[in-house]
Amino acid sequence: MERKWDSRLDDLGVRLEAPEQAEYRLVEARWVGPDEAGDKRLIYVRVLDPSGAPVEGQLFRITNGGERIERTKGGGFDQFWGNYPMFSAGLYAVDIPDAASDKISYLPTGLKEDPYTNTCYYLVFQRGANIVEPIPEPLPDPEPIPVPIPIPEPDPIPDPIPIPDPVAPKLDEATRRQLLALLDEAQAELAAARKLLEA
């Protein structure tokens, strides 16, 4: 069987000690808030035999600084629930004495913001119960860490291609001689003109 555990007990800081070879198992634990508790501030305990029938007069132990042994009650009005009043603020623990037993502890009175408000606990132990712990849901795979995309470096600006100096065209020999003759003729004409100007 699967243990019935009020998830609000985790918020209150309640703990469960469950020895491997316990004879008595806590099969149900429930918390009652102020709206439902009314004028009561009690720990209710019921103990079942291996067949699931409630047991009258079964001892249970309350620890709160000291120890107090109580008994479950009969049917009728009490419905086999034993109870213990939480008169003093603090943390309580409950188990079955003189036997290997689960132990529920760190049961606070009231609320975190008001430890004197009325709240109750309902605890059910069963002898010989085979508790099957629920298989925890697997944790989701962690989200992959994003790999930063590298910013590409700009292509380097190529050096400008140098413009070569213009190459003077090569002249063939006949043309070269013709140009030299023309140059000589022009120089002679300039010389004659200079003489006329100087006369």
Q: Please tell me which residue, 43 or 171, carries the higher pLDDT value.
A: 43
Residues comprising the chain, all counted: 199
pLDDT at 9 over 90: yes
Q: What is the pLDDT of residue 63?
A: 95
pLDDT in tens, 29-55: 999 999 999 899 999 999 999 999 999
Q: What is the mean pLDDT of the chain?
A: 88
3-state secondary structure of 196: helix
Residue 188 has pLDDT above 90, yes or no: no
Q: What is the pLDDT confidence band of residue 123, given thresholds at 50, 70 and 90?
A: very high
Residue 135, pLDDT above cutoff 70: no
For the stretch 38-76, what's the b/e string if a residue is b when 16 or more beta carbons lie within 10 angstroms of its beta carbon?
eeebbbbbbbbeeeeebbeebbbbbebeeeeebebbeee
The fraction of the chain above a pLDDT of 90, given in percent, is 53
- 26 pLDDT band, cuts 50/70/90, is very high
Scanning the structure block, which residue is given the tokens 């000690």? 17
| Average pLDDT rounded to a whole number, residues 161-173 | 74
Q: What is the DSSP letter of 90?
A: S
Give the model confidence (pLDDT) of 69-93 as tens digits. Answer: 999 999 888 899 999 999 888 899 9
Q: Range with the lowest mean pLDDT among 41-50, 89-98, 128-137, 144-153? A: 128-137
Residues 6+ apart with CB under 8 A from 18: 25, 26, 102, 131
Is residue 18 very low, low, confident or very high in pLDDT (cuts 50, 70, 90)? very high
| Sign, Cα dihedral of 104, 3, 86, 59 | negative
pLDDT at 137: 65
* CA 184 to each of CA 143, 173, 176, 189: distance values in angstroms, whole numbers, following the listed order: 94, 16, 12, 9
Q: What does the pLDDT read at residue 175?
A: 80
- For residue 111, give every residue at least 6 positions away whose Cβ sits within 8 Å of its Cβ, in sequence order, or none: 33, 34, 117, 119
CA distance 90 to 67: 14
